[in-house]
Amino acid sequence: MYLKGAGPTRIARLMGHHLNSIERYLRGFTRVWLSSEEGYTATRIARNLTLSESLVRQYLRLAKEYGTETSRGDRTFPR
């Protein structure tokens, strides 16, 4: 949803999650994506960010799947 332009507040409401949780997920996703752009492997990213490797791989798949121009006007995600 975020990659399609929805903000954290809207996502929290639609998903029935707390805003703090959504913001934490988005920070993690962004950190994983930026680390990947720096050339780090999924294994290294997981270790550096203390996330599971499977979560890192999920985030990277999402970035690849939705890797087009975002309506947010910021960085685009890798294809």
Q: Tens digit of pLDDT for each residue in 31-40? A: 998 999 899 9
Q: Between 45 and 69, name the one with better pLDDT.
A: 45
What is d(CA 5, CA 40) in angstroms, rounded to the nearest whole number?
A: 27
Average pLDDT over the chain reads 85
Q: Please report the pLDDT score of residue 6 as a whole number.
A: 85
Q: In the chain, what is the straight-line distance between the N-terminal and C-terminal CA atoms, in Å? A: 17
Written in H, E and C, the secondary structure of the chain is CHHHCCCHHHHHHHHCCCHHHHHHHHHHHHHHHHHHHCCCCHHHHHHHHCCCHHHHHHHHHHHHHCCCCCCCCCCCCCC
pTM: 0.76
